[in-house]
Amino acid sequence: MIIDGIELKKLSENLWEIPKSGEMRVPGRIYISQKMAEKSLQNDQALKQVINVAHLPGIQKYSLAMPDIHWGYGFPIGGVAATDLDEGVISPGGVGYDINCGVRLATTLLEYDFVKDKIESLISNLFQNIPTGVGSHGAIKKLSPQEMKKVLIKGSAWAIENELGNSSDIDFTEESGTLKNADPDSVSQRAIERGVDQVGTLGSGNHFCEVDVVEEIFDEKTANVFGLVKDHIVVQIHTGSRGLGYQICDDYLKTIMNASNAYGYNLPDKQLACAPIKSKEGKDYLIAMQAAANFAWNNRQVIMHLAKQSFLQTFKMTESELGFNLVYDVCHNIAKIEEHKIGDETKKVCVHRKGATRAFPPGSKMIPAKYRDVGQPVLIPGDMGRYSFVAVGTEKAMQETFGSSCHGAGRNLSRTKAMKDAKGRNLLEELHTKGVVIQASGYKTIAEEMPDAYKDVSEVVNVMHEEGITKKVAKLKPIGVIKG
């Protein structure tokens, strides 16, 4: 298959390789069906970015891309790359501006038939209680800079200490909701200022809080372990580190770009600016990025608490009757130090996941004890008009993708094109016809995020399922959503 002049060699039904050539240090590998590739990758530049990433110093095995691949800053969205700790680099382009953008999923004891007549009231309460939109603030009182630094160190533990969740939530959050080496002193005053009143806020764009019904179960055993029951109501929360994370990325891009030049890296794209992981610049970015990741985990924890309160408010029931429990929280914009097998050797590497989700297998000590017999939950939201999926990680993911999988549907239309296509349409009525109640800060967001703007997430998920990287567990159908 040839796309935009780039030859892709077929390795299996949904796995393609760009052979190593020129200054590439490793081959590129893309998990995607031929149909999806021919439809979505023409004139996108994402394949060129996979090639560019393969030039990074110290990159291990492959420059990888998941089936939700599309053009991004430096790395493609859906890109994964692992770099050697001694000779390798860290690149902000491999994380993105929204550091630790991620998803958490909570279950309830409520059945759809019980909820359906009050869904509009529930969505109204969620929209009232969870601040949304650009610059949204005010979920909890504005924090002092000193208190904000505690958030950056403690992550979601801060919310638990402040009675904004249950202690068990920590057990079901990736990294227990805290990266231990985060250092708020590496974070600029401007970033702190942007974050002090954004704890517990959803933001804008593709971020959302969504009420779903479990529509289909593919793996009964694993679904039971995760607490997923057909026709029961679940809640998805998708957001990240807000203005604080954006500012940290912006601050360090300047520093890393200067460092990249100083270290004499000759890379095909300046957006791949990087620094040795062991350099001062690399270490400073890593601990600042970890602080932003902790902010994001705490942000989703607080939003989950606000969502639970909205349910209690709507249905006038006790917490035990509601049964609001966290399944898992995963991040999909991050760089983390992990152990992986490279050839015959197991060694620590820096795994960049940009629009990609960790997908660790059964037996991994990095996932909750409750899930070790089945594997890590992998949460894959789709668009607000169709469906989302819960999958589970596999051993093959550890062997082939550094324990990584897709993170969502991936955009099919730019926001500008989506706005153009939305003209003359009543998107609210279209969603209502599909059984989805929506509230948003403005119609522009609804237009930019309309279902047509995204690939069909079932096609994305099926690629990973058929290749054995993840296995499908359940399909979720949206019935209500709030957006910024």
Residues catalogued as catalytic? 407
Answer positive or negative: Cα dihedral of 138, 144, 148, 150. negative
Alpha-carbon span 206 to 365, nearest angstrom:
32
Total Cβ atoms within 10 A of residue 42 = 10
CB 480, CB 212: distance < 8 Å? no
Total Cβ atoms within 10 A of residue 346 = 9
Q: Which of 32, 107, 74 is nearest to 405 (CA)?
A: 32
Answer positive or negative: Cα dihedral of 59, 62, 65, 70. positive
Alpha-carbon span 220 to 347, nearest angstrom:
35
Cross-strand pairs, 7: 2
Q: Per-residue b/e over 309-326, b at no fewer than 16 CB within 10 Å?
A: bbbbebbeeeeeebebbb
* 59 secondary structure, DSSP code: B
Q: Which of 400, 402, 482 is nearest to 445 (CA)?
A: 482
Structure tokens given for 283: 């270490």
Alpha-carbon span 363 to 238, nearest angstrom:
27
User: Which residues 6+ apart lie within 8 Å of 213 measured at CB?
Assistant: 112, 231, 232, 233, 234, 476, 477, 479
Alpha-carbon span 388 to 458, nearest angstrom:
8
Structure tokens given for 239: 């957001």
CB 65, CB 28: distance < 8 Å? yes
